[in-house]
Amino acid sequence: MPDSLWSTPIWSDIDPPRQGLGLMRLADDPGDPDHDPTTVVHTAIDNGITLLDTAEMYGNEELVGRAIAGRRDEIILCTKFGIRWDVPGRTERWSVHADAATVVASCDRSLRRLAVDTIDLYYLHHRSDETPIEETVSAMAGLIAAGKIRAIGLSNVTADDVVRAHEVHPVTAVQEEWSLVSRGVETMLETLAHRGITLIAHSPTGHGLLRRSPGGSLGSALAEVATRHSVTPGQAALAWVHEQGRRHGQPVVPLPGTTSVTHLLENVAAMDLRLTVDDLRILNETSG
C-alpha cells in the first residue's frame, strides 16, 4: 500500500469523539428559536459535540455550510455520497452510484455546497451491487491525495465490504445503526476492532422510538432504568449505546440526530450518565 494513500488520523483509537450530531433533518425553521439550525449547531459545538454529520442526499449541505461558517476549525465535518433519489423531490425510490467518476464529482459538489476546502470524513453512503467497493475506495483515496478529504468512511455495508475496502486504503469509520431495537451491527464488531475502525452508531434512540416508549418488556425496562436515574427514556437508551463501546472494547461514537436545542442538550447530558451492571442486564435481556 503506497504511503501516500495513508490518511492522517482525524482521531486516535483511544480518544475518538464522545458523541456526534446527525444533521439529516436540519432545516430552516423561521420563528422557532429552539429549532434554529445555526443555534442548534453552535450549541452542539459549545457543549463539546464537534463531529457533525450530513449527506448529499439530505439536501441540506448548503444550510450546514452556513451554520458552521466561522467555526470550521472547531469541528470534524462529515458528509456522504452515493445515494440519489430516482425522482427529484420524491423519497420513495433511490439508487446507488459509487463509480470512480461519481466519487470525484460528488465530492466537488459537496465541497462547494458546504463552502469548505476539505471534508474531514467522507462516507460511501450505501454499498453498491454494481461497482466493486475496491473501485470506490481507490477513488476516495485519490481524494485524500488531492487534499479534498482527510479520511474514508463507509455506511450501510457488510463486514466483507469493510475487509475488502480496508485492503485498498485504511477505513477510519463505519456508520451503522446501533440501538436497543437494532443490534445487528454487533456481528461486525470483531471485523472493525481488528482493523482499528471506529463505529459511528447512528439512530441510537431507534429513530426516536426510544424517546417515547417502544412498549412491551423493553419499554418497561427502559422506563425503570430512566426513573432510577431521573432521566428520560431517550437519555437512558443513548447511555446504553455509550456503554457498549466500553463493554466491547470498541471505539463507538453515538450519533443522535436532532433539530431541537432542547433535545440536543438532553443528548449532551446523556454522555455522563453511567448505567449500572443491573441496568445493563435489564436492558440487554429485553432488547432486540
Active site amino acids: 58
Residue keyed to cell 455546497 = 113
C-alpha cell read off for 281: 442486564
Q: For 33, what's the count of Cα atoms within 13 Å in the CB-facing half-sphere? A: 1
Closest C-alpha among 92, 90, 80 to residue 126: 80
Residue pair 200/253 in contact by the 8 Å Cβ criterion: yes
Closest C-alpha among 124, 119, 166, 194 to residue 1: 166
Q: Please tell me the distance from the alpha carbon of residue 73 to that of residue 226, in angstroms, as a whole number.
A: 36
Q: Supply the DSSP string of 47-92, one letter for each residue.
A: TT--EEE--GGGT-HHHHHHHHTT-GGGSEEEEEE-EEEEETTEEE
